[in-house]
């Protein structure tokens, strides 16, 4: 099979003006919505759409070694008590993203910005963690929002000033690396990617009630995605949509022929060997989004620089104090 070639130029995304909204997105938008509709509504571009109505729940698919269809997690201790967020969108061992409710609101962030600049060996990433040209829901979740019955996320979305480097030429690790519970990559719209787990070690996309773009903030206010987003241009195509912290690109859900990729086509880290060209640089490996768990990465194929994780942690400040059950001991309330 001939290697696939992808050409993008993600060198800089400036702070946008607030885009005109031809129509408000419906509150029922979910992972399985038409990505074409979402991209058009928010100024993005894609060529096809993915509609998924029933997905396997990923609970229990977290391991301490790399395995296809699992998250190889650095953390082995999670919040006790099981998933808090379970509703009518669960059907036994499956869940329906089209039935899952979403946090109300459509908030744009005109101050959002992301800048990528290449040095001789590194790609420098600067931004404020807010989505460029894309909306979020209204957080903290209001008590008047119907989803408050399922999820009481008390965190507001805040700017997180990021300034870190990833390798221009990723180095394959001798053994795949585990994923932490924080930032593991980022989108070309400036949003952090987290792995597929919530703080209980369960399937975050299935359990946590998120906004119209499948995002929400964590305890420090960092807005992030645990899975693909209907507001992420290129997610339903063969385009580069972001980067992992090890320096390898993250591509959309379809191959060059338009075939929707599944876990069966990917390795334990949720990627595969393929030729990807970005600004004249050729990569021999890429991670892939999929509709099914673990959605993003399963582990790191490349080496992550210690300086990268240090700089990201520094931007978030000291850890949030947590009680014996693993939950924040002094959460912020609406």
Per-domain residue ranges for the chain? 28-318
Compare 112 and 13 and report the one with higher pLDDT.
Answer: 112
Task: Report whether pLDDT(91) > 70.
Answer: yes
Task: Report whether pLDDT(147) > 70.
Answer: yes
Compare 41 and 116 and report the one with higher pLDDT.
Answer: 116
Q: Which residues of 138-176 are buried (b: 16+ CB within 10 A; e: fewer)?
A: ebbbeeebebbebbbbebebebbebebbbbbebeeeeeb
C-alpha distances in angstroms, 303 versus 63, 306, 322? 19, 9, 30
Task: Report whether pLDDT(77) > 90.
Answer: no
pLDDT reported for residue 175: 97
pLDDT band at residue 18 under the 50/70/90 scheme: very low
Identify the helix (H) or strand (E) that includes residue 206: helix 204-207
Compare 48 and 221 and report the one with higher pLDDT.
Answer: 221
The full length of the chain comes to 334
Lowest pLDDT segment from 2-6, 54-58, 297-301: 2-6
pLDDT tens track for 301-311: 999 999 999 99
Please give the average per-residue pLDDT across 27-34, as a whole number.
Answer: 31
> What pTM was computed for the model?
0.83
CA distance 72 to 248: 17
Q: Which residue bears the tokens 């998250």? A: 71
Lowest pLDDT segment from 5-19, 205-219, 240-254: 5-19
Is 70 within 8 Å of 268 (Cβ atoms)?
yes
First to last CA, the chain: 54
Query: SS3 for 57?
Result: coil
CA distance 21 to 121: 40
Residue in 322, 251, 325 with CA at minimum distance from that of residue 288: 251
* Residues sharing a CB contact under 8 Å with residue 171, sequence separation 6 or more, in sequence order: 247, 302, 303
Percent of the chain with pLDDT over 90: 74
pLDDT tens track for 312-330: 999 887 665 655 544 455 5
Q: What is the mean pLDDT of the chain?
A: 84
Half-sphere exposure of 10 (CA within 13 A, CB side): 29
pLDDT reported for residue 321: 60
CA distance 97 to 218: 21
Q: Which residue bears the tokens 């075939």? A: 259
Q: Which residue bears the tokens 């903030």? A: 217
pLDDT reported for residue 322: 52
Please give the average per-residue pLDDT across 35-54, as a whole number.
Answer: 43
pLDDT tens track for 239-295: 999 999 999 999 999 999 999 999 999 999 999 999 999 999 999 999 999 999 999
pLDDT reported for residue 333: 37
pLDDT reported for residue 19: 34
pLDDT reported for residue 96: 97
CA distance 312 to 165: 10
Compare 53 and 101 and report the one with higher pLDDT.
Answer: 101
DSSP label at 107?
Answer: B
pLDDT reported for residue 261: 97
């Amino acid at each position: 099979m001939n290697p696939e070639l992808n050409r993008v130029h993600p060198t800089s995304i400036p702070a946008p003006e607030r885009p005109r909204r031809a129509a408000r997105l419906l509150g029922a938008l979910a992972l399985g919505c038409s990505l074409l509709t979402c991209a058009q509504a928010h100024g993005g571009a894609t060529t096809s759409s993915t509609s998924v109505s029933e997905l396997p729940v990923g609970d229990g698919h977290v391991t301490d070694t790399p395995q296809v269809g699992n998250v190889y997690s650095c953390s082995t201790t999670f919040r006790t008590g099981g998933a808090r967020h379970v509703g009518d969108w669960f059907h036994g061992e499956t869940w329906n993203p089209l039935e899952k409710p979403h946090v109300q609101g459509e908030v744009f962030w005109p101050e959002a910005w992301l800048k990528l600049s290449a040095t001789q060996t590194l790609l420098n990433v600067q931004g404020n963690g807010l989505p460029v040209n894309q909306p979020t829901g209204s957080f903290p979740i209001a008590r008047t929002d119907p989803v408050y019955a399922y999820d009481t996320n008390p965190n507001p979305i805040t700017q997180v000033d990021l300034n870190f480097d990833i390798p221009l030429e990723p180095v394959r690790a001798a053994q795949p690396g585990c994923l932490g519970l924080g930032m593991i990559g980022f989108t070309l719209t400036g949003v952090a990617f987290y792995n597929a787990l919530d703080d209980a070690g369960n399937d975050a996309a299935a359990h946590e009630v998120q906004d119209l773009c499948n995002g929400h903030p964590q305890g420090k206010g960092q807005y992030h995605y645990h899975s693909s987003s209907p507001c992420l241009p290129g997610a339903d195509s063969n385009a580069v949509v972001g980067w992992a912290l090890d320096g390898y690109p993250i591509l959309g859900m379809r191959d060059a022929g338009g075939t929707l990729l599944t876990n069966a086509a990917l390795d334990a880290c949720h990627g595969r060997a393929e030729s990807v060209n970005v600004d004249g640089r050729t990569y021999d490996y890429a991670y892939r989004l999929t509709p099914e768990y673990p959605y993003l990465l399963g582990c790191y194929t490349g080496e992550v620089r210690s300086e990268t994780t240090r700089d990201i942690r520094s931007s978030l400040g000291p850890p949030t104090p947590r009680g014996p059950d693993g939950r924040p001991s002094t959460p912020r309330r609406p």
